Amino acid sequence: MTVQTQTSVQESDLQILANIVILKPETAVFAKPEENGYLSLKFNDIEYTKIKLSRALPYKNPEMYICCFDKDGKEIGIIKNLADYGEEQQILIKSELSRLYYSPVILKITSAKEKMGYMYFEVQTTAGKRDFALKDASRNIKFIDPEIKRAVQILDVDGNRYLIEDFSKLDSSSAKKIEAYLV
């Protein structure tokens, strides 16, 4: 008689316990219909239109564990690894993700002013000059990985994300404008 310990739970057992459906290229085909521009999915002979994607680990593993939801927000399944899909499928999925995770990289902080509980920024980004505001800077300016203290994310009042890829490479004038908020 063999006894299975809790630590020997296999990945497939975990998928069953959590009711996780893994989308595989053989059974899940993505397409972008010309008429509406939304991503669609044909999975197990069912056609899903206007699907939504979400990264489970957007910074640590952006191309792994991508959740796929139908137009009503019900989870269809998870792409375990984008690399499992062919180049054409990857382009469609990455294009949709880049639209959803629009995150210009900040190259320089021209101005950062505090006024009536808000911080107003003027920055130069990879997408050009941007002006935005944020509330509660100590919560909305943070290192993505507090142990490494390299990449910084800034979240504005509209939910837009801005990224500083490497805080140590930011010019000193720009760094001084936000370093007090990076605890």
Give per-residue pLDDT as tens, 90-131.
999 998 888 877 789 999 999 999 999 899 999 999 999 999
DSSP 170: S
- Domain positions in the chain are 6-100, 106-181
Q: What is the pLDDT of residues 141-155, one digit of tens each?
A: 999 888 889 999 999
The pTM assigned to this predicted structure is: 0.64
Q: What is the pLDDT of residues 37-63, one digit of tens each?
A: 889 999 988 999 999 999 988 877 889
Q: Is 39 exposed, middle or buried (0-12, 13-18, 19+ CB in 10 A)?
A: buried
Long-range contacts of 59-62 (CB under 8 A, 24+ apart): 59/144, 59/145, 59/151, 59/153, 60/145, 62/97, 62/101
- The percentage of the chain sitting over the pLDDT mark of 90, rounded to a whole number, equals 67
